Each structure stands twice: as structure tokens, then as C-alpha cells.
Amino acid sequence: MAKGKSSRLIAQNKKAYHDYFIEEVYQAGISLAGTEVKSLRAGKCSLKESYIRIDDGQAFIYGMHISPYEQGNIFNKDPLRPRRLLLHKNQIRKIASEVQAAGYTVVPLKVYFDHSLVKIDIALAKGKKLYDKRESIAKNDMRRQAEKEFKIKNLTL
């Protein structure tokens, strides 16, 4: 087995890190059609406005847009159809109980290829208030400023 992890990022939900406190991350598979996988290989996927719900003991992702494959003709599926997430039953039960009891939200973070399989990282998250968002923006600005000063300082040496 190779030591390096072979994975290629397809899409990322950067807004999730801005809008939520990420508590716990899970890796899940996605049930897809063949033309959807080909479209993902071309990088045609968007996680904007997508969300995850648990219905009847199964996890589904809604609003994930996978563009139709150009050569797919009649085999193409609806780009916004709900897709089943492949998780263990105990993981689904744990996520469902956290959402019910603690008021968490389940958000998709990124879609990627793990070797030849399409995987998605989902997270239990709590929503940020406006002041939390301002605080994280200020923290990022301070970090960027420090990196900039460090870079300038090292260039002059």
C-alpha cells in the first residue's frame, strides 16, 4: 500500500467555515450514476446552497449541483436531484441524535476523489452569530497581516 494519500479535490464549501463552527467531520460516500461520475472527473460540481437531511434512517444531500455530462445524452440525471450518502447506521443515528438534541446542523464541506471513489466530507456544525463572524474575520486579517510583515522582514535580510 502506498504511503501517500491519493485524493483530488473536486469542490469545496468555503462558506461553511465562515457561517458555522465545525464540530465533528465525517467521511461519506455518495450514490451516483455513471454520467455523474464522469462529470465530476471534469470538475463540474457545486456545493453552494446544498444541505444534508436524514430521512427514514438514511442521509441525503439536497441542492448539490452536478452538471450534466456532455456525451451523456439519455443517461444524464437531474443535476439537482437528492443523492444518498453512504454512512454506517451508527454514524447516521449519532448525527440524527445530535441534530435533534443539541441543535446542530449537518453541512457538506468538500467533495473529492479518494483513489477512484467519490467521497464527501460532512460536518456537524453550529451556526455562528454576526459577532462571531466579525471576530473570525478580524482574526484572519491579523493572521494575514502578520504573514505579510514576516515575509517583508525576511525579504530585507
- For residue 60, pLDDT beyond 90: yes
pTM, to two decimals: 0.74
CA–CA gap between residue 111 and residue 47 (Å, rounded): 8
Closest CA to 61 of 79, 45, 82: 82
Radius of gyration (Cα) for the chain, nearest Å? Answer: 19
Residue 120: Cβ-neighbour burial (10 angstroms; 0-12, 13-18, 19+): buried
Tell me, what's the pLDDT at 27?
A: 92
Residue 74, C-alpha cell as written in the block = 439519455
Tell me, what's the pLDDT at 157?
A: 61
Torsional sign, CA 127, 132, 138, 139: negative
